[in-house]
């Protein structure tokens, strides 16, 4: 078997975008991404999909932190400030740990702790055990 961290390292799209998982505990996870020229949209700011990719990895870490396979059913993301080049961080909190339908909140901030985006998501937790023996 292995760790949740190792399993999530197989998220190729997140890895290609430069997303790194910093920490995962039951009910909490933190990830970061270095925004570069390659993350920008036509307006010269970080593309919404790049922000979502970062948030999605943090979601996956926290949602699966109870060793049960959990998918995202939907996500509402609000874009507050543009993100420019440099590190941004996503902190994910499992606000409601429910056996079938957990609720997760993710907050994206920049190096100055300014809030960039907020995402809320309803998960769908399966009864299937994840093939991991620890988180980190």
Binding residues (CB under 8 A) for a copy of itself: these are: 7-14, 16-17, 37-43, 46-50, 52-56, 59-60, 69, 71-81, 95-96, 98, 100-101, 103, 105, 115, 118, 120, 122, 124
**Least distance between a copy of itself and beta carbon 111 (Å):** 18
Of the two residues 20 and 47, which places its CB atom closer to a copy of itself in the complex?
Answer: 47
**Least distance between a copy of itself and beta carbon 88 (Å):** 13
Of the two residues 34 and 75, which places its CB atom closer to a copy of itself in the complex?
Answer: 75
Give the Cβ contact number of residue 31 at 10 Å: 29
Of the two residues 30 and 102, which places its CB atom closer to a copy of itself in the complex?
Answer: 102
Q: Identify the three-state secondary structure at position 4.
A: helix
Give the Cβ contact number of residue 82 at 10 Å: 15
**Least distance between a copy of itself and beta carbon 25 (Å):** 18
Of the two residues 26 and 98, which places its CB atom closer to a copy of itself in the complex?
Answer: 98
**Least distance between a copy of itself and beta carbon 75 (Å):** 6
The residues with which 92 forms a beta bridge, in sequence order, are: 29, 106
Contact status, residue 51 vs residue 17, Cβ threshold 8 Å: no
3-state secondary structure 57-116: HHHHHHHCCCCEEEEEEEEEEEECCCCCCEEEEEEEEEEECCCCCCEEEEEEEECCCCEE
């Amino acid at each position: 078997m292995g760790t949740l961290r190792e399993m999530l390292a197989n998220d190729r799209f997140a890895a290609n975008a430069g997303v790194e998982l910093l920490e995962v505990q039951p009910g909490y996870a933190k990830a970061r991404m270095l925004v570069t020229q390659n993350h920008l949209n036509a307006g010269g700011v970080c593309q919404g999909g790049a922000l979502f990719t970062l948030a999605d990895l943090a979601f996956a870490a926290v949602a699966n932190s109870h060793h049960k396979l959990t998918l995202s059913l939907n996500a509402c993301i609000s874009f507050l400030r543009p993100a420019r080049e440099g590190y941004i961080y996503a902190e994910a909190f499992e606000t409601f740990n429910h056996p079938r339908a957990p609720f997760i909140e993710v907050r994206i901030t920049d190096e100055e702790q300014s809030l960039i985006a907020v995402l809320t998501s309803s998960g769908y937790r399966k009864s299937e055990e994840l093939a991991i023996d620890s988180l980190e």
